[in-house]
Structure 1
Amino acid sequence: MKKLKIRQFGIGTIMKYRPVVSSDSKYIFTIGDGCVYVWIVKTGECLRLINHNSNSNDQQIILAQSINPNNQLQLCVAQQNGIINVWDYEDGILIHTIKVEFEIIDLYSIVNSGLYIFGKNVKNVYSLYRIESIRHKSSPIILFDKLPCLPKSISFDKKLMTRLTQYISSDLVLKYFVPTIVQQSSSIAFQTRKTCATSIGDLVTVIPPSAVDQYLVPCLSNLCSDPFWGVRKSCAEVIHPVGQVCSKESRWNILSPCLIQLLQDQSRWVKTAALRVLGYFISTFAQSNIDKQTDINNNKNDLSIKIEESTKINENDQFNDFNYWREPVITNIDFDKDFILNSNQSSTTTCKESIVEISKISNEDDINNILPIELLDFYTSLIEQSHSSGVETDIVHQGAHTFPAVALTLTNKNWHRIRDLHKKFSEDLQFVNESFDQLYELTELFSSVDVGDYISPLGFGMAVDKVADVRHAAIKALSGCYSKFNCEKAQVQTEVFLDDCHRVFASSQDWKLRQVYIYLCKSIYKLNVDRPDQYALRFIGKLLSLKEDPVVNVRLSLGTFIYQYLVNNEFYIGLSDDWRTQIDECLQILLVDRDRDVRASVGGIYQPRQTDLSSEYSNDHSDSSIQNNTITLGDQ
């Protein structure tokens, strides 16, 4: 028996015909030597040969193979003479044979749908056929050819086209599928037009961008003005994937006006679909902006080189003909040092002015050069637009989810344009966690200076909110800001951040904010961005000062954090003796705390209450806000 040995020496295919894997992944079928090899995956051995004829003169060339969609234990093998043999590959038995009157190019099977055949007739017309049931040997039914198809056929086979595109080359898709979609997009049946609009989103991923601009973008633009609202809704749903592939000119001049039109559509369903993809579509302008920035930097670098070359004239080579004839050409030469110096300064000024002109022409931070301003206007009014749509949807959630991508697209210079929108996201309790998760991710996209100027103030503002969930969500964003400052060694921003933490939280008269300081220290500790001594110097001093806080909840949070995270681990070992001594003293104080829950939080024995609950609390001179419940964290 032959054994399956496959060795790949480079990128590319190692066989002419694609192999097929059985539904249970036990066998692999390969075509070679006029037959099909059945390989056992587990052992690598060849189980048998099927469709093999011992008479070499009668041996037919095998073109394709596919699993029978009606029976996963059968293999369909297509021959050059138009015959399809159906085999039981485990027993090597020929079940039956199907004869077709056209040349077979390839086979595809889809479960619960049928066997599909690409073929070419005697008139060299390529067509797609479907055999509904091999079991009953039904005749092939033509689905796609050069003739217009019935609307029912197009609608039925939309999923088929989507699945087949991953198996067919882009040339075949461009040659047969794209013209059909473009042609049927003008059908009188709205179901067909709707299906064509949906299929555009699938086809753009497999054909070249130039073909997308030439065929599919104009087709989508026409469908966006369709009189039937269902077609326009389908266009809104696929405009984002099309925008990812097409050129910047098509995205700006064709798709953007189409999306703006859909955002103002009279149908609330169309408008809702357009609002849902708005943030995603805006993010498609980010890559073009990055490319533009690269070009600008390259131009500036070229000009800088020219400046250096024009100013570095060797004094010993002032009268060299080569330097004399270099641009700018110097006329009326008076070879004295003063004139040469003035000429060099004039040349440098001219080149610097050129840089300024390029910067003015292609200012990457100008919002009008980044994306159509109308799209940003709709995005910044996203919450109001969602309320006016009259439909309960996830529009605001989608907006919060795409916020970092939109911020990256606009660049940090335009943060002020979406800052108020982020505040609105954070004020919506339904999406507050999503909003601050995105704010945390934004810290990775901006420099430490921008994070300190824009993101950190937002976090501090929401960390003093009256709602506990909002405060806890803001803590994650603030810890991300600190991590950014620490990683980039931004000393100024770090000092400002620490000063605000100590002033706003640790020294606050509000016990809830003092508790926020403990939670913030724990969040920063988990990021592991500080050395033990550095962390102690910046945070532990203020933390330990809360060991005798009048509010039980603060002491309880402090004891839990210290006992679970700061002792008996590598962090504790890495501290200096002085810090370890202070932490031990704090634990000793909390172990004899007057509140039993605080004592239990640091490893003390939890003793049952011996006195009446009200009498115990009457002796506790703590904050009145905790008289009803001493062990509940936050402000529940």
Structure 2
Amino acid sequence: MVKMAPLFGYEIAKKILLDKFCEMCEDVIFHVRKLCASIMGSWCKFMGEKDTEEILLSRFIKLCKDDVWGVRKCCIESFVHVAKICSRELRRSTLTKTYLELLLDSSRWVRLAAYESLGAFISTFARPSSESGFEVRDGSLVRVNADGELGDDTNSLCDEDAIKYNSFEFWRTPLPEIDLLLLEDDNAILSDGNNSNAQRKEQKAVREIDDAKLSSALEERLSVFDDNESNASRFAPIIKDDLLSYHKDSEELVETTPISELAIQQDVIPHELLEHFLRMGEQSAAQTVDLDIARHCAYSFPAVALTLGRKNWNCLRELYKKLGEDQLQQWKVKRTLACSIHELAQIVGTEITITDILPVFNNLYNEMDEIRVGVLKNLSVFLTQLPPNERAKYLPRLGEFLKSNNGAMDSKNWRFREQLAERLIQIIPLFSAVQVDKHIVPIALTLVVDKVCAVRQTALLLLALVLKRLSSDDRLVADLTNSLLNCLALSSSWHLRQSYATLCQRLLEHNSVSSWTFAYLMLPSLVALATDKTVNVRIAVARCMDRCVCSDTYLISTENAQASDLLETIEQLRNDADVDVRSMFT
């Protein structure tokens, strides 16, 4: 029915199909009710907000209270889709109350499904993109302006742009006008805060006195056992330590901020929903709901943070620290955090990233490879959120990705090295030429001689873009090209000599160096490889000649002193004995 409704149109579907669907929602066979619950979201999307609230919502809530747990579980799977159609007021009152009942359902599977979708349901309370400044498009978080149009891409910031970029001016709302009449009230509040600090110190001194009184009282109580002094002396220290530790633990619980108080510090999300979400990171939730409950919490964390906004980050700070520490030692939780930490950094901004997100990032940076790959995949996006001085601290640590978590280079984990080369390509614009030469060039030279072809091919593109970044400094370019000649063009391994020919092609394709620089530094070795004994090397040289060299006006003109030798080499390759070499020329 739900698939036929768009074919009939709104009027006919409402007149003929909707009433029948509502009857089926109350069918005696629970399989029918279960199917109705699973497609309720599609029906609500087709019928629109008005019909959903007037007709379908009451049926849906009744299905959420069905006697069969399978029907209630299917309702949870459709809950977010239904919530998106309803108005904000109904979502905050009726739907929230129903969802809280599902979170406390008698069925373990219903509770688990409700906690899995809790973050998605909370995200429906997010402010419009024009207010939050962010929007999710094609699965990625993008910045939008007040008109809903895409803003500037911060991922393309270089060092000079980052210096010009003022986070205080662009990332925050304008400061309000200061009312001098309110300063007296603020001073009064500060004085009250000082008084509260003095009261806490006084309470701490009182508790220390209570500990001493408790200890003396225990000794008096235990001295009553005169008839069995040996047992009294044996058990007295144990009872005393247990009671004192219980007394101190209760004090610590009082001093920490309860989750219920954190939930009421904001007005974006219903307090009860946020309270349940904050408890997902506790160890008790893993024992009562499911062991993977913390992973679901980590997965939904960026969406909840985006919903609350930066001003309510205090509500989530402690939970994020718990997830980063991961008391249950579940590596899946940390991997989930690693894969989304760049999105969270964009949401909370630079200051919060430095204070709260960066310590978690540093811990994930040193974890096992399954976790570090999540950090590596979005490393460039995360570094963009850091100021240049903080960003530069991670340059010397990039070489750590060449080795596995046990400290040795794993030849089998070639995809990890390929991922490293791809990320280095993205972070080149974030650093100066000197920084790139000092920290990224050694890694690129290591990757370009890798045993795996896919790693070498990505490293060749990396080197081409590195040379483009260094093109403003002739000395750096000359040093790097000399290193490439030694490790590639003059290598005894044919696949490295082939890589040199491919590198020359990449340099010309991306205009990494000028034609004069290429003719002076790279062309002589490329011409020499045209007579290589290995056919695959000559094929790579012929491909470079046909696609790039022949189309470069300077290289084949008389201005180039090597033009005559170059033209002879091209003609020699056209008439090569191997048919594959000749086929490279169109």
Q: TM-score range by the shorter chain?
A: 0.5 to 0.7
More helix by proportion, 1 or 2? 2
Relative to structure 1, the CA distance from residue 375 to residue 555 in structure 2 (aligned partners, 3 Å threshold; closer, same or farther) is closer
Give TM-score scaled by structure 2 length.
0.58
C-alpha distance in 1 between matches for 2:86 and 2:432: 45
Aligned to 2:437: 452
Given candidates 420, 444, 462, the residue that maps to 1:477 is 462
Aligned to 1:633: none
C-alpha distance in 2 between matches for 1:194 and 1:575: 76
SS in 2 for 1:381: coil
Relative to structure 1, the CA distance from residue 170 to residue 436 in structure 2 (aligned partners, 3 Å threshold; closer, same or farther) is farther
Given candidates 553, 565, 574, the residue that maps to 1:582 is 565
Q: 1:157-185 deviations in whole A, cap 9, x for unaligned?
A: 12322223443344443333344434543
C-alpha distance in 2 between matches for 1:96 and 1:368: 57
C-alpha distance in 2 between matches for 1:159 and 1:534: 62
Q: 1:338-383 deviations in whole A, cap 9, x for unaligned?
A: xxxxxxxxxxxxxxxxxxxxxxxxxx9xx96362524522342132
C-alpha distance in 1 between matches for 2:22 and 2:494: 82
C-alpha distance in 1 between matches for 2:270 and 2:366: 29
Identical aligned residues as a percent: 16
Aligned to 1:414: 393
Q: Given the alignment of the two structures, is residue 521 of structure 1 paired with residue 516 of structure 2, yes or no? A: no
Confirm or deny: 8 A CA contact 1:397 1:431 kept in the other structure: yes
Relative to structure 1, the CA distance from residue 461 to residue 147 in structure 2 (aligned partners, 3 Å threshold; closer, same or farther) is closer
Confirm or deny: 8 A CA contact 2:530 2:573 kept in the other structure: yes
Aligned to 2:235: none
Q: Given the alignment of the two structures, is residue 181 of structure 1 paired with residue 99 of structure 2, yes or no? A: yes
SS in 1 for 2:496: helix
Confirm or deny: 8 A CA contact 2:73 2:113 kept in the other structure: yes
Aligned to 1:566: 549
Relative to structure 1, the CA distance from residue 477 to residue 171 in structure 2 (aligned partners, 3 Å threshold; closer, same or farther) is farther
SS in 2 for 1:545: helix
Aligned to 1:162: 80
Q: Given the alignment of the two structures, is residue 237 of structure 1 paired with residue 166 of structure 2, yes or no? A: no
C-alpha distance in 1 between matches for 2:483 and 2:505: 17
C-alpha distance in 1 between matches for 2:558 and 2:15: 75
C-alpha distance in 2 between matches for 1:532 and 1:496: 18
Relative to structure 1, the CA distance from residue 98 to residue 188 in structure 2 (aligned partners, 3 Å threshold; closer, same or farther) is closer
1:197 Cα deviation from its structure 2 partner: 2.0
Given candidates 86, 89, 101, the residue that maps to 2:15 is 86
Relative to structure 1, the CA distance from residue 264 to residue 477 in structure 2 (aligned partners, 3 Å threshold; closer, same or farther) is farther
1:86 Cα deviation from its structure 2 partner: 0.7
Aligned to 2:446: 461
SS in 1 for 2:85: coil
SS in 1 for 2:123: coil
Given candidates 359, 362, 366, the residue that maps to 1:376 is 362
C-alpha distance in 1 between matches for 2:333 and 2:21: 51
C-alpha distance in 2 between matches for 1:504 and 1:186: 65
1:460 Cα deviation from its structure 2 partner: 0.6
Give TM-score scaled by structure 1 length.
0.54
Please say which structure displays the higher CA radius of gyration: 1
1:398 Cα deviation from its structure 2 partner: 4.1
Relative to structure 1, the CA distance from residue 421 to residue 247 in structure 2 (aligned partners, 3 Å threshold; closer, same or farther) is farther
The number of residue pairs the alignment matches comes to: 415
Q: Given the alignment of the two structures, is residue 273 of structure 1 paired with residue 332 of structure 2, yes or no? A: yes
Q: Given the alignment of the two structures, is residue 402 of structure 1 paired with residue 378 of structure 2, yes or no? A: yes
Aligned to 1:334: none
Aligned to 1:224: 281
Relative to structure 1, the CA distance from residue 281 to residue 250 in structure 2 (aligned partners, 3 Å threshold; closer, same or farther) is farther
Relative to structure 1, the CA distance from residue 417 to residue 406 in structure 2 (aligned partners, 3 Å threshold; closer, same or farther) is farther
Confirm or deny: 8 A CA contact 2:38 2:75 kept in the other structure: no
1:459 Cα deviation from its structure 2 partner: 0.6
Structure 1 residues without counterparts, runs of 5 or longer:
1-66, 79-83, 89-93, 100-108, 121-125, 132-139, 293-363, 387-394, 605-636
SS in 2 for 1:229: coil
1:74 Cα deviation from its structure 2 partner: 3.6
Aligned to 2:258: none
Relative to structure 1, the CA distance from residue 538 to residue 128 in structure 2 (aligned partners, 3 Å threshold; closer, same or farther) is farther
Confirm or deny: 8 A CA contact 2:119 2:303 kept in the other structure: yes
| Residue identity in the other structure for 1:275 | K
Q: Given the alignment of the two structures, is residue 543 of structure 1 paired with residue 529 of structure 2, yes or no? A: no
Structure 2 residues without counterparts, runs of 5 or longer:
24-35, 128-265
Q: 1:227-274 deviations in whole A, cap 9, x for unaligned?
A: 22243443233234324444453476233133135x4426xxxx2531
C-alpha distance in 1 between matches for 2:85 and 2:318: 31
C-alpha distance in 1 between matches for 2:115 and 2:72: 12
Relative to structure 1, the CA distance from residue 441 to residue 585 in structure 2 (aligned partners, 3 Å threshold; closer, same or farther) is same
| Residue identity in the other structure for 2:79 | M
Root-mean-square deviation (Å): 4.5
SS in 2 for 1:543: helix
Q: Given the alignment of the two structures, is residue 286 of structure 1 paired with residue 272 of structure 2, yes or no? A: no
Relative to structure 1, the CA distance from residue 479 to residue 251 in structure 2 (aligned partners, 3 Å threshold; closer, same or farther) is farther
